[in-house]
Amino acid sequence: MKTALTAALALGFVVALVRCNGDSADTSPSTIPDDVAHDDPTAAGGSPTAEDIGDDPTSPAEEDASVSVFTRDSAVDEDAGPVTDECAAVTQQADIRYRPVDIVFVIDNSSSMQEEIAAVQDRINADFARIIEESGVDYRVIMFSRYGTLVPGGFGSDQHFICVRAPLGASDCSDPSNTPLQHNPPRFYHYSTFVASHDSLCLLLKGWDRADETVGSENLEGWAPIAPSGYSEFLRPEAIKHFVIITDDQVDCQINDDEEADAPWAGARLNDRSNAAGGRAVAEQFDEFLLGLAPEQFGTAEERNYRWHSIVGLSENTPATEPWPPTAPIQTGRCGEQGESVAPGTGYQALSELTGGLRYPICQHQNFDAVFQALAESVVTGSRLACEWELPEPESGEPLDPTQVNVEYTGGGMVTSAVIPKVEGGALSCTESGGWYYDDDENPTRILTCPATCAVLEADPEGSVDIALGCATVVS
C-alpha cells in the first residue's frame, strides 16, 4: 500500500503537504511556540490547532467532526511557484459513491450438494443480502440454479434444488413444488436450470440468451419460462458483475448442440483436470468467451467488469473461514478432514485469480454465515467508486465557487495530505502525472480523477479524500 507521500511522488504531483495546524511540507513536529499556538492561536499568522478548535464549543470541529479549518502556507516547490495563497479552507470528507452491482449465484444441483444448498437457503438473506442492502449499494441477485424443493428433488433425492425465501425471494418457500417461480424485482431474479457437477461454465455461455429450463442436461417438461431471453435480461451494463460459484467438483464440459453451432465456443472442451495448469487454461478460455459474449457487460481483457468468487472444494486456509486472496497460488489440495471434497475446482480458482475474486472451501458450509458476510463486504468494497465524487455544497449556504475547490488525499496511516492538482481541459488533458477535472467546467457537479491518480486511490483502500473549499484551486 502506498503512503500519501510515495503516491504523490509516483504521480509527479505538484503538491503541498498540509496539516491541520497550518504547517507546510515540513513533516517534523510543530515548531509553533506554545504561547502562540495555545494562548493566541491566530497570532503571527498562526492558525488554530486541533486542541484550540476543540476548546471552542461553537467551532465547526465541535459541530461536525468531519470538518476542519486550517491555514495553508504557500510555495513548497521553488520551480513550480506558489501552490496556494495563505487562506482559510473548510474541508469535507468526500462522499463515497458506489456503482450498481449484479451478483450471479451459480449453484451445483448434484447429489452431493444437499448440505451446501441448505446453508445457502438459510444464510443468503441474513448474511449476504442484508449487508449489501444496509450499505445503500444498488444491487440485484440473480440465482442460476434449478428452482424447487431441496429434498427430494423433481427427479429424485439425488438432485437438490433451491428456493430463496422472502425478503430477497418472492415467497416463503413452504411448498415450491406447487408454487410457480416468480422474480422479486428489482432485487431478485431466478434463472432455473439444472446445474450438473461439471457443466456450470458451459451453461453460463448457453443460458445467456436462451430461455430458462432449455439449456441443461435434464430440462423440465412443461416449464413456463420466466426468462425467455436468457439471464442476460437481468444484468445491467452500468453494474459491476460478481459471479459466485458453489460446487464441490471440477470443470469438465463441452458445448455440442445445434443452437450453439455458430458460437465461438462450439466444440470447445473446458476441463481443468484438477491441476493449476489446467485451471488457468480453462480460465483463459472462458474469460475470452465471456468477454466476447457481451463486452458492454463484462468489459475487456484490459479492463474487466466482472469478478469471480469461488466456493469450491479447495483446501482450507488458516483459519478455515479466511478466504484465499487472488494473489495466493491455486490450491490443488481438497478440503475436509480427510480431503473428502470431490475436486479442488482449479478452473474456478483460476477465474478468481484472474479477476481479483475470493476463494473459500465449500466444506465450511456450516460457517456460511461468516463466508457470506465476507463476500458481501467484498462486493460492497469492490463497487466503491474511489475516483469520482459529487461536488459538496458549502456549509455557509453561499453558492460554490468552482475556482476555489481543492482535492486532498491522505494515504492510509498517514497524517499529512497531498493536494492533487486540477488539470485544465478535462479528461483529454490527463497525463501520467495525474490530476483531477470537472465533469463540466461551465456547470460542474462532479469531480473526476485522471487514470494515473485513480490507480493510486484504488490501491489504497484505507486512504481518504477531502474536498477543500475556500482556497484558490491548485492547477497543474
Taking the C-alpha atoms of residue 214 and residue 194, their distance in angstroms, rounded to an integer, is: 10
pTM metric for this prediction: 0.71
pLDDT tens by residue, 246-297: 999 999 999 998 899 999 999 999 999 999 999 999 999 999 999 999 999 9
pLDDT tens by residue, 105-146: 999 999 889 999 999 999 999 999 999 999 899 999 999 999
Cα Dmax for the chain: 87
pLDDT tens by residue, 6-18: 333 333 333 333 3
* Residue 371 phi, psi (nearest 5): -65, -50
Strand extents, DSSP E, 341-445? 359-361, 384-385, 388-390, 405-410, 417-420, 436-438
What average pLDDT does range 421-431 have in this prediction? 92
Nearest to 184 by CA among 229, 230, 219, 139: 139
Predicted local confidence at residue 267, as pLDDT = 93
Taking the C-alpha atoms of residue 315 and residue 336, their distance in angstroms, rounded to an integer, is: 7
**In one letter, which amino acid is 162?**
I
Cβ neighbours of residue 10 under 8 Å, at least 6 residues apart?
2, 456
What are the sequence ranges of the domains in the chain? 4-97+389-469, 100-382
Asked if residue 155 has pLDDT above 50, the reply is no
Q: CB of 11 within 8 A of CB of 422?
A: no
Asked if residue 203 has pLDDT above 50, the reply is yes
Q: CB of 18 within 8 A of CB of 91?
A: no
Taking the C-alpha atoms of residue 248 and residue 270, their distance in angstroms, rounded to an integer, is: 17
Taking the C-alpha atoms of residue 169 and residue 172, their distance in angstroms, rounded to an integer, is: 8
Nearest to 307 by CA among 232, 358, 370, 374: 358
Helix (H) or strand (E) holding 447: strand 446-449
Predicted local confidence at residue 337, as pLDDT = 79
* Residue 360 phi, psi (nearest 5): -130, 150
Asked if residue 157 has pLDDT above 70, the reply is no
- Tally of CB atoms within 10 A around 258: 7
Taking the C-alpha atoms of residue 382 and residue 101, their distance in angstroms, rounded to an integer, is: 9
Q: What is the 3-state secondary structure (H, E, C) of 312-359?
A: ECECCCCCCCCCECCCCCCCCCECCCCCCCCCCCHHHHHHHHHHCCCE
What average pLDDT does range 161-186 have in this prediction? 94
Is beta strand 446-449 parallel, antiparallel or unpaired with respect to 464-469?
Answer: unpaired
Nearest to 383 by CA among 449, 447, 307: 307
pLDDT tens by residue, 215-226: 998 899 889 999
pLDDT tens by residue, 314-354: 999 999 889 999 999 999 999 987 777 999 999 999 999 99
Taking the C-alpha atoms of residue 282 and residue 348, their distance in angstroms, rounded to an integer, is: 8
Residue the block writes with cell 462522499: 95
What average pLDDT does range 294-304 have in this prediction? 95
Asked if residue 69 has pLDDT above 60, the reply is no
Is beta strand 359-361 parallel, antiparallel or unpaired with respect to 306-312?
Answer: parallel
Taking the C-alpha atoms of residue 229 and residue 209, their distance in angstroms, rounded to an integer, is: 5
Taking the C-alpha atoms of residue 240 and residue 341, their distance in angstroms, rounded to an integer, is: 31
Taking the C-alpha atoms of residue 471 and residue 289, their distance in angstroms, rounded to an integer, is: 51
Predicted local confidence at residue 151, as pLDDT = 59
Residue scoring higher pLDDT (182 or 135): 182
Joined grid coordinates for residue 358: 475470493
Asked if residue 169 has pLDDT above 50, the reply is yes
Predicted local confidence at residue 71, as pLDDT = 28
**In one letter, which amino acid is 125?**
N
Predicted local confidence at residue 150, as pLDDT = 76
